[in-house]
Structure 1
């Protein structure tokens, strides 16, 4: 009987993929996405929700925050985290393959905060095409900033981005570190990413000359009025001073180049 109820590796990969994207407060059996995927993988919504909470109990972010999930995490659950740590690219491919195995074709999900830097009006990115490691980073950063932009206080999840301070492509070891992230609105994320704004050693917003020369009311409302404003601190994982210095020195367009 125990063998019949044992979770397959593919089922666990689906569960981990869901965990990477569903907010902590929505890991329950009434969540429509959990219900949908539970049906696909042949588990009850309650069993899948419990598995997600077990995975949460092993999440370094959860452990460091002092919270804990259920105590029933299995060795197989632990091995998922080890797999991702060893090679995030290969692990993401396995997750995508597992999702595709159970769901053909993939419908659109109802998740409200799973988009990956795409507000162009195109069809939303589904859970199958999302990178698990990037989604975990987003989940942890937004949780740390209580789902509010650290500059404007905007609280709409679909318009919030977990911005890397040191860009994703510049440093592998800092990719998943929440202290290398800021929760910004999509507009300010783009400006931060392009070096049009940064934060000084006092965590105050600094504008590039390229932005400061703009005279429109839109630029005044979205940028000039925030110049010198100190960013809203997260409840944990303070922004890393070294990563902010890197951004100022290597990404920010100071006009001195």
Structure 2
């Protein structure tokens, strides 16, 4: 990243802070928080702190917005699934002719969209719960924002940020989930893209002392789904990592555990295919 791009990160960050959004710095070319930080648990709220930290990194970082603390819920429309799932098709089916309310939208490198809404107290993060190819970033979660770049390309805003996020339409609300007291070992999780939602929920519910092992197990299971072609590796890593970060695990630990678990699951899945 050049000095000019570093200025761009700081400038965009100030725009987001002016909107009342809470920020975190991500490792360059990735969606994961920087090592040595507490991720969503310690967001940036001050423009001076932002400028100083970006400068000390030489501009080598991406930007993320913490959803719940920023009063946001983000619907993530994915078009890059290995299984050919297209979230835009799912969105059109759910809308049944209804129009999306006007508000901020971002283009993702895979050709998908981030659609921003006002936070809803009883809706948390999920993957595929609304429908195939549609994830939700909410609560103690985050979303990557412009001018961040990943190997697939750059994040770009499709609409003006001057229009406040609207209320989430009823037809985009995820189905109500029934609470369960079953242990992790007793859960029977669905396969495919929707399985990530169950895996992420299991990680988020893990009690202290089991969080690392649960994240490793979930990442391994997600890797097996990648090997079977049910979901792409980037989505698997992102969803499980966000769930692990929400429990308070350090970002460096999450990056190591989740990346290794997904890779191990992919190798195991390919050996048995």
TM-score range (shorter-chain normalised) is: under 0.3
TM-score (norm 1): 0.27
TM-score (norm 2): 0.26
Higher strand share: 2
Greater CA radius of gyration, 1 or 2?
A: 1
